[in-house]
Amino acid sequence: MAYWLPVIYMLIMGLALLIYVVLDGYDLGVGMLMPLAEEAEKDVMVASIGPFWDANETWIVLGVGVLLIAFPEAHGIILTQLYLPVTLMLMGLILRGVAFDLRVKAGDHRRQLWNRAFFVGSLVAAAAQGWMLGAWVTGLQGGPLGLAFSALIAITLPALYLLLGAGWLMMKTEGALLERAIHWARIAVWPMALCLLLVSIATPVVSPVIAGKWFTFPNILLLAPIPLASAICLAVIAVLLRQPELIRRGRGWLLFVATVLICVLATLGLAYSVFPDVVIGRLDIWEAAASVKSLQFVLVGVVITLPVILFYTVYVYRVFHGKATELSYE
């Protein structure tokens, strides 16, 4: 049990954060696309994420909660080192929540202000999350190289979210807004692909731990399918964007799924590269784990809570599936 409990909690935490990146990623992406839309289209965009966006953030609460409960020492190190970007992320998420409610309730003369606030909150939250991921990959070491890498991830993650957001709008909208979503995806996909390539090149440079796992045999063979599968996903996205008639006929979900698969593949590659460390190069999951009795006690709650959140998430998406309609507060 002393061996497997930390592994189980690490899997739960990784799953929660991956689901968060996908679900809150697309609605952050929609928020960042807001300034590019017409006023009436902004209402439809907000309506497309309205039933989901608040619940999507449940997953980051679960992931950080598991970090605190299961790996308290790592939680202290990570949150101390990342205090500023965590604060900025929370401020961005709070600003999004306030703007979401007030963009209509404050009246037409204030709507543009809150639309801009929704965009700023989305962008700040996405960039802060990218910075935190970059800093974590470098082992929280800082320095010019580490800061440059964190900045690169702070650009890459918002670009990925933009593509997720455009893919979501392809599934949820029609007409002129659908055409805009296709156009936005065409703009976002290549910067996102370039940034992912640069991240792949830079990661072993900034992290000797990861470099040791990537470029040793047989690890290099085990990891080879990940970039290959990612390239296939990018090819699928490129084909769809070159043949927009497929998207107009309801195949936009393929682009969204291909982008989600890129997120999954990147997560699998990162997990393989860093395991068993929870603070890379400094602390593994067994060193950082709480006592076995504490982990056993909390696991009961996790076993109950996780399926409930999963069921609720699936249920909500099932209930509100289909195309978004014009926003109404009546």
From CA 30, how far away is CA 175, in angstroms rounded?
17
99: its two tokens = 């703007």
pLDDT at 248: 87
**Selected residue with higher pLDDT from 143 and 329:** 143
What's the one-letter identity of residue 319?
V
Mean pLDDT of 157-186: 93
End-to-end CA distance of the chain: 54
From CA 213, how far away is CA 203, in angstroms rounded?
12
What percent of the chain clears pLDDT 70, i.e. is strictly above it?
97
From CA 38, how far away is CA 43, in angstroms rounded?
9
Residue 52 DSSP label: T
pLDDT tens-digit series, residues 279-325: 888 888 998 888 888 899 889 888 888 999 899 889 988 888 888 77
Q: What is the pTM of this model?
A: 0.92
Judged by DSSP in three states, 324 sits in: coil
pLDDT tens-digit series, residues 234-288: 999 999 999 988 888 888 899 999 999 999 999 998 888 888 888 888 888 998 8
pLDDT at 117: 92
31: its two tokens = 């928020």
> Is 223's pLDDT higher than 70?
yes
Beta-carbon-side half-sphere exposure of residue 257 (alpha carbons within 13 Å): 7
Residue 243 DSSP label: -
Name, in order, each residue with C-beta under 8 angstroms of 116's C-beta and a sequence gap of 6 or more: 35
Would you say the C-alpha torsion 11, 16, 21, 23 has a positive or negative sign? positive
Residue 110 DSSP label: H
133: its two tokens = 């991921």
260: its two tokens = 């989600």
Q: 183-186 long-range contacts, Cβ below 8 Å, gap at least 24?
A: 184/33, 184/36, 185/237, 185/241, 185/255, 186/241
228: its two tokens = 């290959």
Q: Which of 129, 122, 107 is nearest to 35 (CA)?
A: 122
Judged by DSSP in three states, 284 sits in: strand
pLDDT at 152: 92
The CA-atom distances, in angstroms, between 27 and each of 202, 265, 308 are: 28, 21, 22
- Counted residue by residue, the chain has a size of 330
> Is 39's pLDDT higher than 90?
no
From CA 198, how far away is CA 207, in angstroms rounded?
14
Beta-carbon-side half-sphere exposure of residue 310 (alpha carbons within 13 Å): 9
When pLDDT is cut at 50, 70 and 90, the band that residue 38 belongs to is confident
Residue-range domains of the chain with CATH: 4-319 (1.20.1630.10)
From CA 283, how far away is CA 67, in angstroms rounded?
13
pLDDT at 209: 81
